[in-house]
Structure 1
Amino acid sequence: MNLSVVIPAYRSERWVGRAIRSALAEGVADRNVIVVEDGVLDGTAQVVQATGARLTSLQRNGGAPHARNLGLAQVDTDYVMFLDADDYVENGLLAGLVGALERERADVAIGPWVYDGDGRERGMLRQPPALDNAERIFHWVMHAFFPPCCIAWRADAIRAIGGWDERLRKDQDGELVIRALIRDLKVAVSEQGNGVYWQHDSPHRVTKAQIKDVMYAADVVFAQLEGWVRSRIANGSAGDERVSLGRFCCKTAWVAYAYGDSAAGAKWSAKARELGFHNRGYNYRSALLASVLGIRISSRIKASTRLVYRRIAQR
């Protein structure tokens, strides 16, 4: 298979073997499974060496984007997937992604995926919709995302847009995809197989990022989206992207308030209003809740409700 799988591994001895074996089972050559151990902190190296995959061990933790970029530098196949160490692939996903990339001469291919994890039921299969890049940009940031375990790239294309942003500790994959869409990389969709986005309670997961990291990532993504929207307005091709950008700001405000950062929440709410999005909620339910309780209280209620549901599901 003309595809490499790059796996950043941080304290991953419990999961990384499964990730590697899933790639090998899908037809990836062992020399094309590239694991970058992001800090020698547990038995990850021994697990990797037992599989025959390539291993690069960093003595100090440099962050997942840095590890992925180091892995990308070792790729000599036409295509690459960045598979997190706790996720895996199955049912012919990789063949479907490579087939879509080659058939459509695309730069990025997105396939189906499911949630699964410790103490939870396996989720429904999530299929990427067929959208153009402009539609997909705000679909991605507002409604749906697709994790790295279901996305493959043409290696030269991801290199051409600069690879992974090593400044980010949160939303690294989202920022990369937004950047790719804004740069007008061609996207293909596959319906074959699936990735498995594994959920667990390790304190080292990226999803445990601090609010400052969440807000920094939002600033980076907003700057890219704002420049893109302005260029579309200038050349007369804009639709309702300005209001959609305001909706993104409103959602970011809710996230800030949910984390207890009122200053950031007020900043993003003001940005939303400047862009013409005057609704206090980013969707129907949040708008209804905010109309009764206000954004600050509503956002904390929504955040608490999600946490309760998550704990119930893990019992």
Structure 2
Amino acid sequence: MMKELPSVSIIITTYNHAQYLQDAIHSAMAQTHSPYEVIIIDDGSTDGTEKEVKQYKNVKYIWQENSGLSAARNKGIAKCKGDYVVFLDADDMLYPNALATNLKYFHLHPACGYVSGWYDAMNENKKIIGIYDTPPPQKDHFLYLLKNNYIGMHATVMYNTKVFEHLKYDEKLRACEDHDIYLKIAKKYPVFSHSEKIAAYRFHDHNMSHNIKLMLSNALKMLDKNRDDAFDPRAKMCYLAGKRNYRAYYADIVLGRIKNENPGYKPKTSLYERKLLWTQRPAQLIKYYLQRIVKSTKNIFQKKPFIRGHVNFGDLHRTKPLSRIFGYDRGGPIDRRYIEDFLKENASCIRGNVLEIGDNFYTKAFGGQRVAKSDVLFVNDSNKEATIIGDLSHADHIPDEQFDCIILTQTLHLIYDFDAAIRHCCRILKRSGTLLLTVPGITQIDYGEWHDTWYWSFTGRSLLKLLTTRFNPMDIQVQTHGNVLAATAFLYGLGKDEVNDKLLSEHDPHYPVIIAAKAVKN
């Protein structure tokens, strides 16, 4: 008689992350080892999360008053029925082999309380921007966890559900509740960690980890509550090292942020964060302030601050960029700021039947309840979100006048026959439908997958000329975004938060980082 396969529950916790939830659900349902159940715990969302979930018949939806992550996970534990359980945050994704891989290691180590793996970092648009592959410990996991949360991403962990018969997430912790449960389990059970990548962590502007005070205060509280009065000397040393490591980690984040503040504007760092720097990085902070004072004084007395031959290039005195992936690894690309400002300005046009290329992230983010139907066009069938397969320059299979809005951001330069692509956009738009288009101006060429199909850059005049071949000139609005600082920072790969926002907003048409256009079919 064939042995019954182990059952796994996937619990997805969410709070106002409806725009990402579809990705999380799809990744849960696409497992090579099918989950026994997928449960959504909605922690009091107000962004249409329930409507997003209701389209999935095989997903169980549970709503609760906003009570925090720990309470949401505890509710999921109470409702799940699997032999094993995985917790997935709504803005993250599992790789298809996630369940099968961790079950493989549970088969080899059946006494374990949990098995954990590794993960990739991705940006808001699901592009991989980093790999987390530090070798995991093979013993003394509790001691390692006291020093450092080596697991990093909660979705890489599969728990034996039996551990939760006696353990629960601490609902008094508003952050670091995952690190806390790892410590509790590693103290009572054997655990195992491997280095196979099984998930992707999404970085975006609303990650809870951006709140330094919340994260650090809860991290220190969490370590304190796991300090046993009967600690042996090794455990005590690891506990003290863990507190130092957490303080140093968040101090370095703040130091990187403060170095990129503009002296003329209100600082982005809080009083709590600056106090942290004074205690953890006093020498670096004093050096930074002295350099800023010297620089300001020089500018006061120097009538010609840019004397020929005496320009101070500073950190930019280099021939290689700071980031080769457009700043995704430094807080997000500068051009995204302009793209999103343009779409926000024209959000009322994103309505009815909307077509977006690649994914429907912007459709959901800026269209909201105005969107009746969302379609995604992709060049091949590798994208599970795609509802239409094909090349936009060979789109004869798409019927005429189908869409009220087409969102085409940073894609036209990858299409060799861009004129045909614009022709098809005009054809498949309904009367009074709107094309919202952005293209690169001053830019690097991708080092990765788009390198071989990166054909064009545009100017405001060239884009206007192109659009007037298909649209009435009176119904076209073209605008450029950027200035010499924005263009330089973008080429070097600086992140959008590393340059003062007021400086980015200054417009100089001679340095277009992107060109944006709105064209209405009449």
Q: Distance in 1 between the 2:224 and 2:276 partners?
A: 15
2:76 partner letter: G
Aligned to 2:145: 137
Conservation of the 8 A alpha-carbon contact between 1:34 and 1:54:
yes
Q: Does 1:245 align with 2:251?
A: no
Q: Deviations over 1:239-279 (max 9, x none)?
A: 3x43333333333444479464389859xx7xxxxxxxxxx
Cα 1:131–1:264 shift into 2, 3 Å: farther
Aligned to 1:38: 43
Conservation of the 8 A alpha-carbon contact between 1:97 and 1:110:
yes
Which one is further off, 39-48 or 248-257?
A: 248-257
Match of 1:215, SS? helix
* Larger RCO (CA under 8 A, 6+ residues apart): 1
Q: Distance in 2 between the 1:137 and 1:189 partners?
A: 12
Q: Does 1:261 align with 2:250?
A: no
Aligned to 1:285: none
Match of 1:231, SS? coil
User: How far did residue 103 of structure 1 move?
Assistant: 2.4
Residue from 112, 116, 124 that aligns with 1:110: 116
Trace 1:194-205 onto structure 2 (pairs within 5 A): 194-202=198-206, 205=207
Match of 1:83, SS? strand
Conservation of the 8 A alpha-carbon contact between 1:80 and 1:155:
yes
Cα 1:36–1:130 shift into 2, 3 Å: same
RMSD: 3.4
Aligned to 1:273: none
Q: Distance in 2 between the 1:123 and 1:263 partners?
A: 28
Cα 1:232–1:307 shift into 2, 3 Å: farther
User: How far did residue 53 of structure 1 move?
Assistant: 0.5
Conservation of the 8 A alpha-carbon contact between 1:69 and 1:164:
yes
Q: Distance in 1 between the 2:239 and 2:195 partners?
A: 30
User: How far did residue 70 of structure 1 move?
Assistant: 0.7
Q: Distance in 1 between the 2:45 and 2:142 partners?
A: 42
Q: Distance in 2 between the 1:56 and 1:31 partners?
A: 17
User: How far did residue 55 of structure 1 move?
Assistant: 0.4
User: How far did residue 138 of structure 1 move?
Assistant: 3.7
Aligned to 2:222: 220
Aligned to 2:191: 187
Which one is further off, 170-179 or 254-263?
A: 254-263
Cα 1:140–1:298 shift into 2, 3 Å: farther
Aligned to 2:230: 231
Aligned to 2:453: none
Match of 1:123, SS? strand
Residue from 1, 5, 17 that aligns with 1:12: 17
1:197 partner letter: Y
Cα 1:29–1:91 shift into 2, 3 Å: closer
User: How far did residue 128 of structure 1 move?
Assistant: 5.1
- List gaps (5 residues or longer) in structure 1: 270-280, 282-289
Conservation of the 8 A alpha-carbon contact between 1:93 and 1:192:
no
Q: Distance in 1 between the 2:331 and 2:117 partners?
A: 25
Match of 2:91, SS? coil
Aligned to 1:309: 330
Q: Deviations over 1:171-210 (max 9, x none)?
A: 12112212222x23211234445111111113xx322436
Q: Does 1:123 align with 2:127?
A: no
User: How far did residue 307 of structure 1 move?
Assistant: 12
- List gaps (5 residues or longer) in structure 2: 1-5, 255-269, 290-321, 333-492, 497-522
2:236 partner letter: R
Higher strand share: 2
Trace 1:46-57 onto structure 2 (pairs within 5 A): 46-51=51-56, 52-57=58-63
Q: Distance in 2 between the 1:99 and 1:243 partners?
A: 34
Q: Does 1:88 align with 2:109?
A: no
Q: Which structure has the greater CA radius of gyration?
A: 2
Cα 1:262–1:298 shift into 2, 3 Å: farther
Q: Distance in 1 between the 2:217 and 2:288 partners?
A: 16
Conservation of the 8 A alpha-carbon contact between 2:13 and 2:69:
yes
Using the size of structure 1 for normalisation, the TM-score is: 0.74
